[in-house]
Amino acid sequence: MSINLLDMLKDTVTGSLAKQASGFLGESEDNVSSALGGIFPTILGSVIDKSSKPDEASGLMDMIGVLDMDMLGDIGGLFGGGASSVNGLLNSGGGIIETLLGDKMGGIVSMISKLSGLKSGSSSSLMKMAAPFLMGIIGKQASGKGLGFLTDMLMGQKEHVAAAMPSGMGDLLGLGSLLGGAKEVLGSVTGAATGAVSGAAGLAGDAASGVSNIAGNAASAVTGAAGNVAGVAGDAAKAGLGWIKWALPLLLIGALAWWLIFGQSPKDAMGDASNAIENVASKTGDMAKGAAGTVADAAGYATNAAGDVVTNAGRAVSGFAKGAFATVNEAGKAALDKITFTANSAGSQMMEFIDGGFIGDGKVTFRTLTFASGSDKIDGTSGVEVDNLAAIFKAYPDVKINVAGYTDNTGNAEGNKTLSKNRAKSVKQRLMDAGIAPSRVATQGFGSANPVASNDTKEGQAENRRIEVTIAK
C-alpha cells in the first residue's frame, strides 16, 4: 500500500502551521486550516503533473535540494524567529509556487479564498508558506532514493489528491486526465446514493436467493417457481410494491408444488413464501430510505457549506485589516487630509475601504494609471494616482500590499506575463520614490490571466490591462 503524503502533512504540519500562520496573517485558525486542506492537494497535484513530464521531473529534485529541512521541522521556532524568518519562508515558497503554478496562481487563490473565507492576500501568502513544507515531506521520503523512486511515489498519490482536491480545482489546473477525473462534490453525493441503492438491491437479491435455495431442495418445478419469485423480488428493489400482482400467481404455483411433494398445505407454503418476500420488501424499503437519507444529508451538508461560503464572503475584513491600519503617522494623516481624490480612483477606493470600516476584500484597481503600449513606463501625469495611494500608505505605516499586473490576451503569453510583472514593479518603484519602504510592497505579474471583461472588444481589453493593489496584512 502506497504512502499518503497528504495524511502525513495533516498529521505533522497542518495543525501547527494553521496556528502559527493564523496569527501572522490575522485570520481565524479554522479558516486557515480549511484553506490548507485545499492548498496541499492543489500544490501536490501540480507536483505530480511535473513528475509526469521527463523534461521537468529532474527540476523537482533541484527544488527539494535547496530546502532547509531543519527549519521546516520547527514551525513554532520558524514563526517565533520574527518577520525575517517568515519572509525567508515566503520567499522560498514564492519560488516554488511560481515554478509549479505560474499564471494559474490568481485563479487558485480566488478559489481557495472562496472555499475558506480567507482574504486573497492571505490565501496567496499561505500558499507560499505551505509549499516548502509539502516539498520537505516529499524530500524526506525520497531522500537518497533517486529520481525513479520520486516519480513512482508521486504517481502513487493521484488517488489521494483526486479525493482531497477542491471541486473544480483539477479543471483549473488542467489535471483532469492525469488524476483520472477528480471527483466533484455532486459526483460524490451521487455515488453515495447509488451505492446505497445498489446495496438495497443486493440485499433483496440475497434474500430472494435464500428462498430459491430452500425450494431447490424439493424438485425442479419448485426450483423454477422459487427462481421466478427471486427475480420478481429483485425487480421489487427497483420498481416498488407494484410487483405484488405478478408475484401472487407464482406464489400459488410454488405453494401447490410444495404441497404435492412434501405434503405441506398450500396455505402454510403460501405463508412461508409470503413472509420471505415481505422480509425482502421490508429490507429493500429500509435500504431505499437509507439511500434517500444519505442524499438528503449530503444535500444538507452541501447547502450548509454553501451558506458558510456566502457568509464568509460577506464578512468585513476584520482582524488583519484593522490591525494593519491601527498605527497612524500623524504627519502623514495631516497631509492625507489635504488631498482631494478623484472619484473611483485607487486612492478614493482605498479611502472608502478605510472610512467604511474595512468592509470588502481590501483590493483597489487603478483607473487612470496608463503605460505606453508594450512598455512598463508610466505615462505622463497618470502616475499621480500612484502618488495619492502612496500618501495613504505613508499615513498608515504598518500596511503592506501586493501589486499585481495584468494584460489583455493580445500578443505572446510569456511576453505579456513579463510585461505585467514589470509594470507592477514600476508601480512599486513609484511608491518607493514617494517614501514607501520596499519591504512593504510585493509584486506579481499574471499576464492575461483572470480577465475581468471580455477580450473580444477593445473596451474589454482596456479593462483587462490593469494594476490591482491588495492589502497583504
Give all domains of the chain, ordered by start, each with its CATH number.
Answer: 5-180 (no CATH), 187-306 (no CATH), 319-471 (3.30.1330.60)
Locate cell 420498481: which residue? 239
pLDDT of residue 92: 83
Q: What is the pLDDT of residues 377-429, one digit of tens each?
A: 999 889 999 999 999 999 999 999 999 999 999 999 999 999 999 999 999 99
Rounded Cα distance, 396 and 390, in Å? 10
Give the highest mean pLDDT range of 122-136, 305-319, 348-362.
122-136
The overall pTM is greater than 0.85 = no
The answer on pLDDT for 183 being more than 50 is: no
pLDDT band, residue 223 (cuts 50/70/90): very low
Average pLDDT of the residues in 284-303: 49
Does residue 236 contact residue 203 with C-beta atoms inside 8 Å? no
3-state SS class at 105: helix
pLDDT of residue 320: 61
Does residue 419 contact residue 374 with C-beta atoms inside 8 Å? yes
Helix axes 29-51, 15-25, angle to 10 degrees: 120
The answer on pLDDT for 201 being more than 50 is: no
pLDDT of residue 224: 46
Question: What angle (nearest 5°) sits at the alpha carbon of residue 356, between those of residues 351 and 358?
Answer: 85
Locate cell 458558510: which residue? 308
Q: What single-letter DSSP state applies at residue 12?
A: I
Long-range contacts of 136-142 (CB under 8 A, 24+ apart): 136/64, 136/67, 136/69, 136/72, 136/73, 137/5, 137/8, 137/9, 137/12, 137/13, 138/5, 138/47, 138/60, 138/64, 139/64, 139/65, 139/67, 139/69, 140/69, 141/3, 141/5, 142/61, 142/64
